[in-house]
Amino acid sequence: MQRADDFATRRKHLAELSEAELEKRFWELSDKIMQPLVDLAAKHTSPSIERSVLLRMGFASVEAGAIVKRIHELGLLGKGAGQVVVTMAKLHQCSVNEAGEKILTAAGGEQVVEHFRGGVR
């Protein structure tokens, strides 16, 4: 089956645009197409992404997995595992490794949840 050539018909609304105007329109449409993906990436994360962040902060793979699992259980994964760990380190004035260990305890988990819910300042 051969496709009918309707290029001339489909381009009528673009025929009067200059090269610069066409380029501008292209980028506007590209931005419009990509915006849902940008929004999704800005508002959502995944355990694998957060484990990767913790690995780059110096945690071992097993530790990072456990901390991310705990942060997810606490309902704080959307805050970012790195931010949760750094916040705990600031609250206790300790290293990020020690903060990660504290998050894994029941008391540490409750404390960091309370902080992010506005109870501790």
The answer to whether 115 and 92 are in contact (CB under 8 A) is no
| pLDDT value of position 106 | 85
What beta strand segments (E) does the chain contain?
none
- Distance in angstroms (rounded) separating the CA atoms of residues 18 and 53: 46
pLDDT of 9 over the 80 cut = yes
- Distance in angstroms (rounded) separating the CA atoms of residues 70 and 49: 15
pLDDT bin (cut points 50, 70, 90) of residue 121 is: very low
- Distance in angstroms (rounded) separating the CA atoms of residues 67 and 91: 17
Residue the block writes with tokens 């645009």: 17
| pLDDT value of position 3 | 80
The mean pLDDT value for 1-9 works out to 84
- Enter the pTM of the model: 0.65
Sorted by where each starts, the structural domains of the chain and their CATH numbers stand as 47-116 (1.10.8.1000)
Q: What is the pLDDT of residues 34-64, one digit of tens each?
A: 998 888 877 788 899 999 999 999 999 999 9
- Distance in angstroms (rounded) separating the CA atoms of residues 81 and 77: 6
